[in-house]
Amino acid sequence: MQTVFISIVIGHVFTVILVSAYRHKHMKDTAVNWFFVSRCLQSLAWGFLAFRNVLPESVTVPLLNSVLFTGSVFETIALLRVQNVFTRKVRKFYLWFTLFFIAGFMSIYYLFNNESLRIVYASLCTSVLIIYPAYRMLTNRKASTLMRTMGFFYGLVSLGLIGRAVMEAEVFGHMSLFYPGIYQVLQFMSLYFIMILGNTGFILLAKERADDHLMRLASYDDLTEVLNRRSFIQKAEADVEIMANQGGPVSFILFDIDEYKGINDTYGHDVGDQVLKYLSRLVQEKLGDKGYLGRYGGDEFAIFLPGMNETEAEEMAEQLRASISISKPARFPFQFTVSMGLVSVPASRETRISRLYQISDQALYEAKRCGRNQVVRSKSS
């Protein structure tokens, strides 16, 4: 039993060492920081538990169980932060739930001193503790396979804790870690499983989130949060291939803000940036799932409309242009308009986004020449 506890401590300590090394470059990652503290607390508690006879039981049992539970709370918070679902309401719940557990455990120990009751209480509380992050992992539509797998295993752990509480209520004391038998063996195995799941799983989730963040930085424009030029072209080329196989059309819209330089010169570049952000959100809202927006640079944007013919694309472009021209955002002391160049072609394996850009750019130039705030459809292909 002492060997088991020490080996669990060693597992947590190695995790603490690795997370400490990781934190040097990721000190701002609050999820990692919470996980680091959780492993420190759990290492401390299991270490003292291995030598529990050194101190009086009246001190070690309530203190170490409180520290272990607090460490589990911090681990749960780390899991929720990785998922970006640790809201103020959730934080308040876990704060009060931790205080509730500690107060309840202390009361049971000092008023009743019944080990079976303590096991039932601790098992049920811990089950409640981890069920929420497991639920969020399983129900998140955008969750990765790794996150769903983690959610599944944490769900099993939660059910196992409920089963432990039920069995303890029936066998009265045989579910204790300190009572030799098959239940003790199963619980030791469970402790190893939970340690591996928590340590390895969290590190993988943190790495996955970091990779997703880097991918987003590489694929999206920092200011407007729409696809950058490179990612837009890659996505559009992939859709051209799909539409070529289906024999459908594609449409490309290039547009920019009329007299944008005047906005920057008159109101400053910060206002100009706010205009770009507002425009991007408005266009994406109007587009919905019919197409997607990309920023080519400066105030120049492109829209790709897979499967949309020239009549449909021209109607869409005109709706976007009209919506922009009549919008009156309160934050700006002015209104602005856009000019658009449009090209629609039957998709083929010879269709190139660079060529569609050139054609729509010529149409955009024509829209500017003819007075701005209008859509010009190119007849070229």
Residue 48 has pLDDT above 80, yes or no: no
CA-nearest of 231, 226, 216 to 278 is 226
Whole-angstrom Cα distance, residue 254 to residue 304? 9
Residue ranges of domains in the chain, CATH in brackets: 2-218 (1.20.1070), 227-377 (3.30.70.270)
3 state DSSP class of 239:
helix
Look at residue 337 in the predicted model and tell me its pLDDT. 94
Residue 20 has pLDDT above 70, yes or no: yes
Look at residue 178 in the predicted model and tell me its pLDDT. 57
Whole-angstrom Cα distance, residue 57 to residue 49? 10
Whole-angstrom Cα distance, residue 165 to residue 181? 17
CA-nearest of 74, 69, 61 to 31 is 74
Phi, psi of 274 (to 5 degrees): -65, -35
Lowest mean pLDDT among 53-67, 177-191, 233-247: 177-191
Average pLDDT over residues 88-115: 92
Beta strands in 31-151 (DSSP E): none
pTM comes to: 0.69
